[in-house]
Amino acid sequence: MPTLSADIAAILYTVSAVLFILALRGLSSPETSRRGNTFGMVGIAIAIITTLLVSNMNGMGFALAAGGLALGGVAGAVIAKKIPMTDMPQLVAAFHSLVGLAAVLVAVAAFFSPADFGILSEGRIKAGSMLELGLGAAIGAITFSGSVIAFAKLNGNMSGSPIMLPARHLINLALGLGIAVLIGMLMKSGGTEPWIIWALLAATFLIGFLLIIPIGGADMPVVVSMLNSYSGWAAAALGFTLGNLALIIVGALVGSSGAILSYIMCKAMNRSFISVILGGFGGDTAASDAGDKEQRPVKRGSAEDAAFIMKNASKVIIVPGYGLAVAQAQHATREMVDALKEEGVDVVYAIHPVAGRMPGHMNVLLAEANVPYDEVFELEDINSEFSNADVAFVIGANDVTNPAAKTDPASPIYGMPILDVDKAATVLFVKRSLSPGYAGIDNDLFYRDNTMMLLSDAKKMVEGIIKAL
């Protein structure tokens, strides 16, 4: 078997870590991103080959490694090819759960073969290594069970509404303390008592589950980002156990990436991270359809009206929300925009950070519908443009346009940054009904004089507009 010296191996791991940094750096613009992704692939190939060469693998080991790679690789490739873009959030949640579980398995393996992981000292696992191993196992287990719940909620296997256990904060606190005690016991035992690691895993699987069930569907973008971060910290902890530079660096990169995304998502919803974690906010379906709706008059319009208004506009801003994806109307919307451009109308898209079910989700959906990315603008870049726009065409979005976020301190979304669609000369709202959004709040915009409600399924309405154009 060819072997590498430890120094060469460390250099190769560093090279792969640098390639991972370049992979993330590439994502600063779509042009460089594709090359970045290739760097990432080369990086992981280097890490795998290096490990195969340094680990003194025998024939049986190679066979198992190759079998695992082939098995998982084929499954992964098939999933990547088949998954619809609307299902990206649940796919990412599922992938997080796999990383979490892999971290748990590696920690267990290290616990039972400490000599080969280099963490033994005088027949006992070193306390420091045990701490790293225990943390890796614990964070991995939380990532796993938390992601399974996030997946079930995003995929619709489970209701998006929060599940609130009585005294859940107390239960979680007790479990958290128990986990800390178990890690302490692990360190003290030096690996002589396997029951402790099993107990630790049981407790951490349970707390991951309990932490995510009270979080509502609307907060899922934060949860998915947070679990992304956790998977990184789990990897980093095990990187310390293994003394592996690539793993330590990747763990830090992924950990900070997930943390930044959680922060961005929280800010976009004006929610504090703590309140998201504590849960209880926002079911998927608006619970309150109070009887007082429909009392105020709204102006309704048809597809023909909308087509007429937009055809005669010089600037139209499209504001897509998650409802667009639900109705699968992204392709029809792009066709409508093409038709408008034929008429000489200037059309761009405005995206709120929480327009989709995960960070950047709406951008992917529009890209899939062949919308050029330089026509798609983020909130801070486009907000000043609404006052120059003749028409704001809001499709499948609601709360992110609600002026109550600015004007009504009593509103649950008060303080959330919104797209200033109310500044446009005319607002066209494509909506299935007048029901409020996830936050359960009425939108004042519906009742304004310059707003026309296009009450219909998004796809049907857009197709109607195309016909009328």
Pick the closer one to other proteins by CB: 228 or 451: 228
CB of 356 to other proteins, least distance (A): 8
Given candidates 21, 277, 278, 326, which one binds other proteins under the rule CB under 8 A?
21
Query: What are the helix (H) ranges across 270-329?
Result: 273-278, 303-311, 322-326
Other CB atoms within a 10 A radius of the CB of residue 94 amount to: 19
Binding to other proteins in span 119-148, by CB under 8 A? 128
Burial class (CB in 10 A: 0-12, 13-18, 19+), 327: buried
Half-sphere exposure of 199 (CA within 13 A, CB side): 15
Question: Is there binding between residue 373 and other proteins (CB under 8 A)?
Answer: yes
- Binding segment for other proteins (CB under 8 A), chosen from 61-69, 185-193, 297-305, 318-326, is 61-69
CA dist., res. 67 & res. 73, Å (int): 10
Question: Is there binding between residue 102 and other proteins (CB under 8 A)?
Answer: yes
Question: Is there binding between residue 13 and other proteins (CB under 8 A)?
Answer: yes
CA dist., res. 220 & res. 218, Å (int): 6
Question: Is there binding between residue 246 and other proteins (CB under 8 A)?
Answer: yes
Based on the residue annotation, tell me whether 374 is a catalytic residue of this protein. no
Place of tokens 């920690």: 107
Question: Is there binding between residue 212 and other proteins (CB under 8 A)?
Answer: no
Give me 360's structure tokens: 């950047």
Binding to other proteins in span 62-91, by CB under 8 A? 64-65, 67-77, 79-81, 83, 85, 88, 91
Question: Is there binding between residue 92 and other proteins (CB under 8 A)?
Answer: yes
Pick the closer one to other proteins by CB: 212 or 238: 238
Question: Is there binding between residue 326 and other proteins (CB under 8 A)?
Answer: no
CA dist., res. 363 & res. 127, Å (int): 47
- CB 136, CB 186: distance < 8 Å: no
If you ran DSSP here, which 8-state letter would residue 300 be given? B
Given candidates 261, 317, 445, 462, which one binds other proteins under the rule CB under 8 A?
261
Question: Is there binding between residue 358 and other proteins (CB under 8 A)?
Answer: yes
Question: Is there binding between residue 342 and other proteins (CB under 8 A)?
Answer: no
Binding to other proteins in span 417-456, by CB under 8 A? none
- CB 217, CB 283: distance < 8 Å: yes
CA dist., res. 215 & res. 229, Å (int): 17
CB of 460 to other proteins, least distance (A): 25
Question: Is there binding between residue 186 and other proteins (CB under 8 A)?
Answer: no
- Binding segment for other proteins (CB under 8 A), chosen from 50-58, 322-330, 406-414, 439-447, is 50-58
Q: List phi, psi (to 5°) of 144.
A: -65, -60
Q: List phi, psi (to 5°) of 119.
A: -120, 15
Question: Is there binding between residue 242 and other proteins (CB under 8 A)?
Answer: yes
Q: Given 399, 420, 422, 442, which residue is catalytic?
A: 399
- Give catalytic residue positions: 399
